[in-house]
Structure 1
Amino acid sequence: MKDRIISVDIFRGMTIVLMILVNTPGTWSSVYAPFLHAEWHGYTPTDLVFPFFLFIVGTSIVFAYRNKETNAATYKKISVRTLKLIGLGLFLGAFTISFPFFKDFAEIRFPGVLQRIGVVFFFGSILFLNFHWKTLIGLSIVLLVGYWGLMELVPVNGMESTLDRAPNNLANYLDVQIFGSHNYKPDYDPEGFLSTVPAIVSSLLGIFTGLILTSKQPKKATILVGIGGVLLMLGHLWDIVFPINKALWTSSFVLVTAGWANLILALIYYLTDIKGIHFGSIFRYAGANAIILYFLSSFISKVMGMIQVGETSLHGWLFDTIYVQDFMSMQLSSLLYALSVVGFYALLGYLLYQRKIFIKV
């Protein structure tokens, strides 16, 4: 524990808290704009949350596997964890409160947040264990440029490819062909097949940051600020020809989100690990059980949406009864509901941490 970098734990916890916040508003019909995803191209603060988590997955890989041998036991551990993450994600996509408690097969969503975390963790770990960081930089460039080329140049059904939400968008087309009715939307999935490739690079960029934090380099915060600034600049320049887009996880999106992640992590690192300013303990508690808190929040939210109370759901009844008040706007009521949910899981994270209960997935 003495070798842990506090800022990494705080960053992970902040990310999981934000994931819960943006996923559980009182009502989706009244949400402040920063807490919604961009409709297609562009990005909002909410669009940063998931790539931040994949980024910190990469950073955590360095801490977890930097001294591990590349043997069967290590690969087994990585594979088991990957399967657990994918399994939890598939369970969330399949569960229903009606007996036999699973949706019809055709209605089950195959891709998902936990599934993508599992796949990204698997490839990030394997690549980190087997390749030098210089090789990983080259691979990252090849994957990002290659994804750009595929999305821009490969015809789809005899039509010129587009980056719009359309049948001749290559990523969307492949999702429909591979997953069929098992997508988030009929025409695409934001955690789809092809877009998972650049998502792996999000974790590789986190690995580079982890290598800096574990190195003997002086002025680590300054280095992270420099890297973050360069990535932001390159990402926004690339946006001119390959728009920033979370649903497609475009290469420009990878660079911009990793840029912001480095800048924010640098600030937290400077305040906590360098200056010793103690803040963010509640985020450390949440970060210690990040995956299980996310899973529970998603599962319980889903169940509350399925339980009927009169003409609405348990979720709707609680929101309408407690949070909808004449003196508040509906958007504020919706946000207060989300903050209450976040408070509950932050408290749960604190209690688990205090009792030294760390549920590893």
Structure 2
Amino acid sequence: MKLTITSQRLYSLDALRGFDMFWIIGAEEIFHKMAEITNSPFWNALSVQFIHPAWHGFAFYDLIFPLFLFLAGVATPYSVGKQLEKGVSRKSLLFRVIKRGLILFLLGVIYNNGLEIRPLEEIRFGSVLGRIGMAYMFANIIYLYTKQRGQIIWFCALLLGYWFLLMFNSAPGYPMGDLTMEGNFVSYLDTLIMPGKLYLGIHDPEGWVSTIPAIPTCLLGIFAGNLLKKGAVDKQKTTAVRLVVIGIILIIVAQLWNLVFPINKNLWTSSFTLQCGGISMLLMAVFYYVIDILGHKKWAFFFKVIGMNSILIYMAGGFIDWAYTTSALFKWLGQLVGDPYNAVVLVFCYIAVQWAFLYVLYKKKIFLRV
């Protein structure tokens, strides 16, 4: 892990990553607060989209995590692929990929448990960063040692294999193919192989076995990254159209698969992978078209500042009390606005404080890289 000065990057990639992180650093509270204040159908409908479904189902908030993993894949042809083109050996790149995956896994453990000594049974090893690290690592190993056809075969095999794993097995005492939290086979396997504690006791939404279908999420990003890289010169509009077409196809297949294998973030079902992959493709196409093809970059600068230091701002939430800083700096503004909209204003202030922190780092060209 190091702080570096970055070179030329795909602007839309950083902007979309920043857009993704924007919701993680607190923007979803805007909708929750407005729903509480107004109790209107409009704001309530938006608020529900920023709450994870209890089990089966899909909301916009479910997209945030897989979109980040998808974008990690998009970056692969520009990072690992570029190194391959320069003649760096696969063995050397393999070491870097594994190292990055393990560091992200370790950061995930630190984020969940803090920097303190705890008994093993009290440590949670499943984490968002851990899943990103492991899925990124395995997807990049596949990228290093297979061509595009091989990557597509791996993509299909992992999704189908995961489906079969759940459909033809179950936890002891439950019927085959049971997909409840208590009866599904994946959560049961996690209770057997994962040390420490699971987030929900019998289930962890970032469990190790459900990392299997997260690998194809990253592979989809790699596929998109290859399209973007190859079409960067004279086929930009064609590339954007291809991303849109692929995205629509993925969403249609996801909805069909949902009929027999429900979309479920907790289990990261194969239909969930396709649903999120399709939407991610569409978002990448829109950002790429508007920013890199049409050249409208100024509006995206706000998001780029966040996207350039995404891991840093995510980790900072575990060590910096942003709410305390926001209150110290802007409590007076909340008092001027008064109830009930002061809560909404302070959400914007909360985001502004974090963005200002990132902007200072951006101006000094300080970026956290793993």
TM-score (norm 1): 0.86
Q: CA deviation at 1:326?
A: 6.9
Q: 1:4 aligns with which of 3, 9, 26?
A: 9
Query: Deviations for 1:163-195, whole angstroms, at most 9, x for unmatched residues?
Result: 1221x2111111222236511111101111111
C-alpha separation between the residues in 2 aligned to 1:9 and 1:16? 10
Change (3 A) 1:339 1:202: farther
Match of 1:270 among 284, 289, 292: 289
Q: What amino acid sits opposite 2:181 in the alignment?
A: R
Does residue 342 of the first structure (1) align with residue 351 of the second (2)? yes
Please state if 1:198 is matched with 2:225: no
Question: 1:84: Cα distance to partner?
Answer: 1.7
The equivalent position to 1:289 in structure 2, one of 297, 300, 309, is 309
Distance 1:349 1:77 in 2: 26
Aligned pairs for 1:114-129 (under 5 A) are: 114-129=129-144
Q: Displacement of 1:339 after TM fit? A: 3.8
Deviation at 1:91?
Answer: 1.1
Conserved in 2, the CA contact under 8 Å of 1:283 and 1:346?
Answer: no
Residue 11 of structure 2 aligns with an amino acid whose one-letter code is I
Is 1:214 the counterpart of 2:214? The answer is: no
Letter in 2 for 1:286: I
Name which of 90, 113, 117 aligns with 1:71. 90
The 2-side partners of 1:122 and 1:179 are apart by 19
Q: How far apart are the structure 2 equivalents of 1:24 and 1:105?
A: 34
Which residue does the alignment assign to 2:99?
Answer: 80
Aligned mates of 2:227, 2:93 — CA distance in 1: 23
Query: Are residue 58 (structure 1) and residue 73 (structure 2) matched?
Result: yes
Deviations 1:15-56 (A, max 9, x none): 122222268789999693222111111111110000000000
Question: What residue ranges of structure 2 are gaps of 5+ in the alignment?
Answer: 1-5, 37-43
Q: Is the 8 A contact 1:17 1:346 kept in 2?
A: no
1:315 is displaced (CA, Å) by 9.7
Cα distance in 2, alignment partners of residues 155 and 358 from structure 1: 45
Per the alignment, residue 22 of structure 2 pairs with 17
Give the equivalent residue in structure 2 for 1:358: 367
Asked if 1:163 is matched to 2:175, the reply is no
Change in CA separation of 1:338 and 1:26 when aligned onto 2, cut-off 3 Å:
farther
CA RMSD of aligned residues (A): 2.9
Question: Aligned pair in 2 of structure 1 residues 337, 149: CA closer, same or farther (>3 Å)?
Answer: farther
Q: Deviations over 1:236-271 (max 9, x none)?
A: 111111111101000110001011111111111111
The count of residues paired between Structure 1 and Structure 2 equals 341
Match status 1:135 vs 2:150: yes
Q: Which amino acid aligns with 2:105?
A: I
Q: What amino acid sits opposite 1:328 in the alignment? A: P
Change (3 A) 1:38 1:92: same
Alignment match of 1:109 (pick from 103, 124, 142): 124
Could you list the runs of 5+ residues in structure 1 that have no partner in the other structure?
305-313
Question: Alpha-carbon deviation of 1:4?
Answer: 2.8
TM-score of the aligned structures, taking structure 2 as reference length: 0.84
Task: Return 231-240 or 343-352, whichever deviates more.
Answer: 343-352
CA distance in 2 between partners of 1:327 and 1:155 (Å)? 51
Distance 1:208 1:185, change over 3 A: same
The one-character-per-residue Cα deviations of 1:103-137 (angstroms, maximum 9, x if unpaired) are 43321111101111111121121111111111111
Aligned partner of 2:49 in structure 1 is: 34
Q: Percent identity?
A: 32
How far apart are 1:3 and its partner, in Å? 5.6
Once the 2 structures are TM-superposed, how far is the Cα of residue 346 of structure 1 from its aligned partner? 1.9
What do residues 134-181 of structure 1 show as CA deviations (whole Å, max 9, x unaligned)?
111111111111111111111432532311221x21111112222365
Residue of structure 1 equivalent to 2:339: 327
4+ residue runs over 4 A deviation: 22-31, 314-318, 321-326, 335-338
Structure 2 residue identity aligned to 1:119: M
- In 1: Cα distance, 2:68 partner to 2:113 partner: 24
Q: CA offset at residue 230 of structure 1?
A: 0.4
2:112 equivalent in structure 1: 93
